Amino acid sequence: MSDLATHHLYQIVEATMDYIEEHLKSNISLDALSSTLGLSKYHLHRLIKHTTGMPIMHYIRARKLSASVDYLLHTNWNIIDIASEFGFLHEQTYIRSFKRQFGVTPSQLRKNFGQITLTEKFDLQRLGKVADGLIFEPQFVVKPITYLAGRKGDVNLETNYLTHCANAAGNAFFYKEHPFIPNKVNPHLYIGLTVLNGNSPIAHYIPSTEVYDPEGLDASWDITVLPAQKYIVFTFIGDFHPRYLTAVQLREIWSYMDHWLPQSLYMRCAPYFFEYIDTRLATEQYCEVDLYLPICSNQEGSLAR
């Protein structure tokens, strides 16, 4: 796979941001954006939400309201005229939206200016162009005890990079065995769990899914119990179906995370990590995967991955 997919996704985000800026004083619809950019509304919504941290229509409204602040502070325009200038059909709609966004009304801002936080145009330098796709600023989550049911196998990490045997095992599991696992939390969920063995090149790769309760499951399934844990979670979006996600892309993504982590206050704290894929999101041109890495603060110490 070439840089084409990466560039395509990056260009969609760039074109979306440019379109919004060029049409701040117009009514912007998700339908128009989707049609202009050639991406489904659903996937455009997810792409921009991961990019900006907010739903696309919320981002558009926040940009409109932020841009209108200059008119409030530096012109004597009536509020109704400012509202109309930025595509709000009714003055009261603008005022209510402004109050929700900034905690003050437009009139209050003019009379007694205090500090507010604006939403400026998204800086594309915050995006990571990685592994034939884009990776976004991470989230921190805590998961409770998690039960996984799957099929354990050993994989040589270096050989896997060349042969993609873990990818083949994952696809075989998901399409042939996954449907028969009972008690699934999400029938569309695939989890690719890697458990390392010190410095050994041989690791366990366990194609899995999350189950509510392992009790009563057939003994042929391999059960993994992950403890309650804090994770850093990076989301990767690629321009291909997740069935084609291999060790080549994953190594680049994990390397990106390894580079990012020392700049934070956290470090790895357990010798495992996993990919989390909800296949309902997938198309032939869209791959979305969350990558979970168990972490603790630098003061708490760690186990090397």
pLDDT of residue 140: 92
Question: Would you list the domain boundaries of the chain?
Answer: 4-126, 128-300
Averaged pLDDT, 27-47: 93
- Give which of 274, 265, 264 is closest to 294, Cα–Cα: 274
H or E element, residue 265: none
Tell me whether the CATH fold assigned to 4-126 matches the one assigned to 128-300.
Answer: no
pLDDT at 302 over 60: no
Radius of gyration of the CA atoms of the chain, in A? 23
pLDDT tens per residue, range 269-293: 999 999 999 999 999 999 999 999 9
Share of the chain above pLDDT 70, in %: 95
pLDDT of residue 93: 97
- Give which of 298, 149, 143 is closest to 228, Cα–Cα: 143
Fold designation for 128-300: Multidrug-efflux Transporter 1 Regulator Bmrr; Chain A (3.20.80)
pLDDT at 4 over 50: no
10 or 304, which is more confident: 10
Do the Cβ atoms of 47 and 13 come closer than 8 Å?
A: yes
39 contact partners, CB below 8 Å, separation of at least 6: 12, 47
Highest mean pLDDT (candidates 10-14, 92-96, 115-119, 128-132):
92-96
pLDDT of residue 259: 87
* Planar angle of CA 29, 31, 37, nearest 5 degrees: 105
Do the Cβ atoms of 203 and 157 come closer than 8 Å?
A: yes
pTM metric for this prediction: 0.87
- Give which of 169, 193, 214 is closest to 277, Cα–Cα: 193
Q: Tell me: domain 4-126, CATH 1.10.10.10, correct?
A: no
Q: How confident is the model at residue 300 (pLDDT cuts 50, 70, 90)?
A: low
Averaged pLDDT, 161-166: 92
pLDDT tens per residue, range 107-152: 999 998 778 999 999 999 889 989 889 999 899 999 999 999 999 9
pLDDT tens per residue, range 199-224: 899 999 999 999 998 988 989 999 99
Torsion sign over Cα 274, 149, 203, 298? positive
Segments of the chain assigned E as strands: 128-130, 133-135, 139-143, 146-150, 153-156, 189-195, 202-211, 222-226, 229-238, 266-268, 272-278, 287-297
Return d(Cα 125, Cα 43) in angstroms, integer: 21
pLDDT of residue 298: 66
